[in-house]
Structure 1
């Protein structure tokens, strides 16, 4: 599906497709809002192939700006609305951004760094908010020229999603809008999304799972997508008032969700490993709902596979299986060692693979040294009885005295010990053993280390038990509930954690 076909489908849809607070837009109204925004952008001198940074808050105005840039022929860079302003300025310079779209406070904060023309745009007559933008051509002209030169060979590049990757420095994962729409449609088909569904806009849309598998999938299908007012928790009153039928969450939030939503028919989970214990809790909490575990990574489009588990028995102590690959995807394991043919790195062959990494105007666009049409995920899987089971990110695997330890497996066991709220297992350098595993545990009661070891010994060999247990006040997580990990140099791997 091309952007023109997507917009044509919107124009023909007279049903409400997007809603927030008291404002709602039909597909036709959204189409005209996008068209007006694109026309304003073109009239301001914006040229095809130019980079535009959109600060993607969960709002209708962000959606209009995102698709408006695409319609105007630009490359839309998906901005994290929580990025501090100095980082925003760094991105503007590094990637040769021509226009910056954001709320008024963000725009005027950036103005303290750059002297730019400010454009105030009425996003839509039905909305209270305005979208403000900076035309950066006056002060950023050399970088803009270099950006266009770098992106020009990648003629299909239209969507750029940031990743800090393994170096901690921002780089943009490039996709064509066509592939993003295809990937969203394939996800719709895999989980059985319906045009009469009401989809919760709870996940952040600057996050590829929330953007493609949640927002764009809803618009492609013609469903109704409803933004919740900014909150770290799902509002049950809001969910029931809007008769939400589809909810996408990370496993972390799913396990903590305690709401009664009679209209809910389906939940999808992605962004982190889903343990069998967590899956069984979700099956009990949401009996009668369709439950899907989904896997993907931004480089792949992003969705790769899904597995419906509400009627499945899941072996204890394992992460739920990868499931069926989406249409157009093929999966294989790249053997991790000569003596372990059942353990290896997952490699995905997909027609929606990234067009490459854009490192900025100085370094340009590069494609990793991957096999043709394939993505090396950096995720280790074990194949058992024709199922692929996730065991660890390759860079997070711990080798303790020669024994391989897989943090997600250990965490899933500790997490279900009475009193444990959250846990993170990480490798620490040790002069004698190479590495030792340390388990950081957030608990609401005192738990003796002996009890922790006994619980782990029921599921793991003695050599796989963490050498150290440390109790902490909290475990750092992202806005989506994913574990925060430090950037580690690890060449040749997929660089965006699985989502």
Structure 2
């Protein structure tokens, strides 16, 4: 990362790299490639003067902004390991990450300072003796933050004595924790090679150049937001527009005002944009494509978005463990497949049976991956690291899917989320998509629950659209009876949910994927 930042500063100089976007339409160049390098050099000096050394871990806990990007990139430039903390972490998860990560410094916004302070206090009450320094700043600050002195670590609680990493950490750039829905969060170790490999793959896959500009709608604590919208433009010399957060109200205005040539979204954003107004298409003539990732995009939403906004979607798929994308549909619209995650991007993929043998075309099994973007392993979790790979070195995704005869891959569900009713395997996504075809359903997630007769039965959690107007009156959104009739017609009796539960939102992990197993706790 240091070499890349230095090279781009020499090559591109005063070209804009990051544009800050406030709550109004005003925007300004926050970082050029030259100022990014100068800020990284200055922060490298401050990190070193404070007592940090290459391989030390620095946590970043704040929302999107030029300062957040500056600190993340400067830490990598300095040979430190960045740990972006998900702002949506529950208190127990925050405490665990602060303790488990061996972080020496937390750079935190004022808004998140009370949460971080409480997490540190709780960790100390539960026995953590490692001191942690705090630097408080604003996500959109224009000057590099001051770094306080880093307290020395007592010999008996050093990283190497207390909790050794599974492998040498010298070339690790990023430590990012997964959501931990089936246990405590796991810290994914990604190297400089992993990150730069995927930045190169993304740039080549989408034919991105220094003339391209992306709207960074996703948070930087999201692997997609960090690698796709921050690192990939750094690699190909493009630019990034960084609003503080996603806003459906201002999204299209921001795209048009800043002349973005591509956008990067997740299916949830697609759903919310479909609820909003249609912008003037003339203002979006420079928008080349929309890229969707992090979770499967419902086919009906895919078609509706393209028809409504006149912008083609490239569906992709990735994981934290693969530094974001590992599949992508082709850039050529005629070669894209709606409902498919595409073909391998920069790596290899295959589908395997339970016994590890390769599945045939159209046969469902587990997707496994291999390539330069695949993680080093999980931090201080050697057993989990070993379990994550097959005996011959392929990363197990935990996703069920198949590959067709033309080499396109499709995901049908998660192995742990598969519903087995009366011995028949039912993919939750099939039920989700059937429900999403009803005009009153905004989001849906099906899960399996224990049943004495069938082993498992189906429960659907549904987020309804708001009350809709019809003529000069109003009508309420669909109820359980209406949705049951809809499912009976589209899915048949066997796959129709036994129960419908209406919720205001679905739980999601850092990557935006619905956490089905969390729904069972509701």
Normalising by the residue count of structure 1, what TM-score does the alignment of the two structures yield? 0.85
What CA distance in whole angstroms lies between the structure 1 residues aligned with 2:454 and 2:116?
Answer: 49
2:255 pairs, out of 239, 242, 250, with: 239
Instruction: Name the SS for the 1:24 alignment partner.
Output: strand
Aligned to 2:288: 265
Residue 103 of structure 1 contacts residue 130 of structure 1 at CA under 8 Å; is this kept in 2?
Answer: no
2:319 pairs, out of 297, 309, 312, with: 297
**What displacement does 1:154 show?**
4.2
Aligned to 2:267: 251
Instruction: Name the SS for the 2:79 alignment partner.
Output: coil
Instruction: Name the SS for the 1:292 alignment partner.
Output: strand
User: Cα RMSD between the aligned structures?
Assistant: 3.3
2:499 pairs, out of 468, 472, 480, with: 468
**Residue 331 (structure 1) aligned with residue 337 (structure 2):** no
Instruction: Name the SS for the 1:12 alignment partner.
Output: helix
Change (3 A) 1:116 1:411: closer
Aligned to 1:494: none
What CA distance in whole angstroms lies between the structure 2 residues aligned with 1:141 and 1:71?
Answer: 29
* 1:154-303 superposed matches below 5 A: 154-165=169-180, 167-233=182-248, 235=250, 236-257=252-273, 258=276, 259-260=278-279, 261-262=283-284, 263-287=286-310, 289-303=311-325
Residue 332 of structure 1 contacts residue 346 of structure 1 at CA under 8 Å; is this kept in 2?
Answer: yes
**What displacement does 1:139 show?**
7.2
Residue 97 of structure 1 contacts residue 136 of structure 1 at CA under 8 Å; is this kept in 2?
Answer: no
Aligned to 1:404: 425
* 1:346-425 superposed matches below 5 A: 346-359=367-380, 366-368=385-387, 370-371=389-390, 372-386=392-406, 387-425=408-446
* 1:47-196 superposed matches below 5 A: 47-83=53-89, 87-107=93-113, 110-111=116-117, 113=121, 127=142, 130=145, 135-137=150-152, 142-146=157-161, 149-150=164-165, 153-165=168-180, 167-196=182-211
- 1:355-399 deviation per Cα after TM superposition (whole angstroms, max 9, x unaligned): 010147xx7984435234421111111334433221111111100
Aligned to 1:17: 17
Residue 49 of structure 1 contacts residue 152 of structure 1 at CA under 8 Å; is this kept in 2?
Answer: no
Residue 159 of structure 1 contacts residue 174 of structure 1 at CA under 8 Å; is this kept in 2?
Answer: yes
Change (3 A) 1:324 1:369: closer
**What displacement does 1:122 show?**
11
Aligned to 2:25: none
Instruction: Name the SS for the 1:137 alignment partner.
Output: coil
Instruction: Name the SS for the 1:150 alignment partner.
Output: coil
What CA distance in whole angstroms lies between the structure 1 residues aligned with 2:335 and 2:69?
Answer: 39
Aligned to 1:4: 3
Residue 290 of structure 1 contacts residue 308 of structure 1 at CA under 8 Å; is this kept in 2?
Answer: no
Which stretch of the first structure deviates more once superposed, 25-34 or 139-148?
139-148
- 1:234-283 deviation per Cα after TM superposition (whole angstroms, max 9, x unaligned): 51333322112211111121132144251322110011111221211122
Unaligned runs of 5+ in 1: 489-499
Instruction: Name the SS for the 2:172 alignment partner.
Output: coil
**What displacement does 1:477 show?**
4.1
Instruction: Name the SS for the 1:158 alignment partner.
Output: strand
